Amino acid sequence: MAAHFFRTAFYATAGRKSMSLPFAAGRTAATLAVGLSFGAQNSRGTVPYENVYADSFFGGCQTQGLLQRPLAEYREIQRPLIRNFASLQAGNNQQEQPGQHSAMAPLKNRRQISSQDITKNMTLYTNNKTPVEVDPKTLAFKKPTGNPLVLMMAWLMAKQKHLKKYAQIYTEMGFDVMVVHITPWQLLWPVKGTQVVAAETLRFLENNKAYEPIVMHGFSVGAYQLGEIMLQMSRDMDRYGPILDRFVCQVWDSAADITEIPVGVPKSIFPKNERMQSALRNYTLYHLKTFHNQATIHYMRSSQMFHSTLVKAPALFFVSDNDPIGPPSSNRAVSDNWEHANIKVTFKQWERSQHAAHYMRHREEYLQMLFQHLENCGVLEAIGVPKRAKL
């Protein structure tokens, strides 16, 4: 998919190389696009920006080579503390101490999580062992699972093994988790990309009415994707209004706005190569200016919709001061607008953390606030989860 992305960059730039390109992209942009397309296609060592720390964390913090300057300057690896959260303990051989309390099900009752691709951009995580039968046209499940749902909007270029860890937080409480993920190409060309994914997501929600209540948990560019979904909802509220009524809670981890696209896309694709980031940032700026009607106008509409929002459920924001992709300023602007619309907002801001990886850097506090938010929204009581012990 990265090769398709850079091929698009090449054709767009080469066709306009006589133009005065912004930010000194100039005639070198086409050459860079061609070179990057081969590099992206053949390099297996490239790790998305948000995944560099996650690889080390979820691997038991055994590897040290992933973190090199300049990332190491603000990432301090610590082995995760022992907590009774089932498979979140992967890679840790220490035994549970007597008397420890857990917010999750008892160890003997925990089940293995399974995943199933519903579409190219939607993956279901569940504790049910039997695969669900899905109507390929309507995306309706022939037999409902009987579980509540978490709609999880992934960050750009997220790895499934990392998303699975977030999904397990919910599946251990009895939720099914539907992860919606998009590619860089789909982000750059919304009409044939993200808006198609938004339509599929709506089709799934509309034709699986048994999924209630619904918790929204989004990361980074997932905020933009939800904006696209809400735009389609707004065109037929009589039809989609009942879906909105099923949302009872929302969580936003490092939500990114349109102004952060030139920063976030390069860091997601080339997390450890500043030259490639600079080249791709120049092209992204060029793309936003040149393809206003095909792309930028859709980003603006989605951003406006996300700020005004149709989902009125209480919200929890996770941000950090040193996050250039989802900075506190843009998230504060969203939360202020939501509070003016009488939406209850909880805002957690760390001084130092990492984009879409606050759970890895501040695991205890992240889980503490997440479960408190779910309790305050009445989610745990609604699905029959006993009030959790203090963490």
Query: pLDDT for 36-66, tens place per residue?
Result: 433 333 333 444 545 544 444 444 444 333 3
Euclidean distance between CA atoms 315 and 380, whole angstroms: 16
* 190-204 pLDDT per residue, tens: 999 999 999 999 999
Q: Is the per-residue pLDDT at 362 higher than 50? A: yes
64: in domain:
no
Summary mean pLDDT of the chain? 79
Element (H, E) at 350: strand 345-350
Helix 274-290 crosses helix 2-14 at what angle (to 10 degrees)? 60
271: in domain:
no
pLDDT average, residue stretch 259-276 = 90
339: in domain:
yes
Q: Is the per-residue pLDDT at 180 higher than 90? A: yes
How confident is residue 74, by pLDDT bands cut at 50, 70 and 90? very low
User: What is the total count of domains within the chain?
Assistant: 1
| Bridge pairing between strands 176-180 and 149-153 | parallel
Question: What is the edge-to-edge ordering of all strands in the sheet holding 345-350?
Answer: 114-119, 122-126, 176-180, 149-153, 214-219, 247-253, 315-320, 345-350
Q: Is the per-residue pLDDT at 26 higher than 70? A: no
197: in domain:
yes
**What confidence score (pLDDT) does residue 290 get?**
97
CA-closest candidate to residue 187, choices 151, 141, 236, 153: 153
Domain that holds residue 207: 111-260+286-382
**What confidence score (pLDDT) does residue 242 get?**
96
Q: Are 358 and 346 in contact (CB under 8 A)?
A: no
130: in domain:
yes
167: in domain:
yes
pLDDT average, residue stretch 72-90 = 34
Q: Is the pTM of this model over 0.85?
A: no
**What confidence score (pLDDT) does residue 4 get?**
52
309: in domain:
yes
Phi, psi of 282 (to 5 degrees): -60, -45
**What confidence score (pLDDT) does residue 70 get?**
40
How confident is residue 268, by pLDDT bands cut at 50, 70 and 90? confident
pLDDT average, residue stretch 304-320 = 97
**What confidence score (pLDDT) does residue 139 get?**
97
Higher-confidence position of 94 and 252: 252
CA-closest candidate to residue 135, choices 66, 232, 234, 203: 203
181: in domain:
yes
Q: Are 46 and 40 in contact (CB under 8 A)?
A: yes
Query: What CATH number is attached to the domain comprising 175?
Result: 3.40.50.1820
How confident is residue 111, by pLDDT bands cut at 50, 70 and 90? low
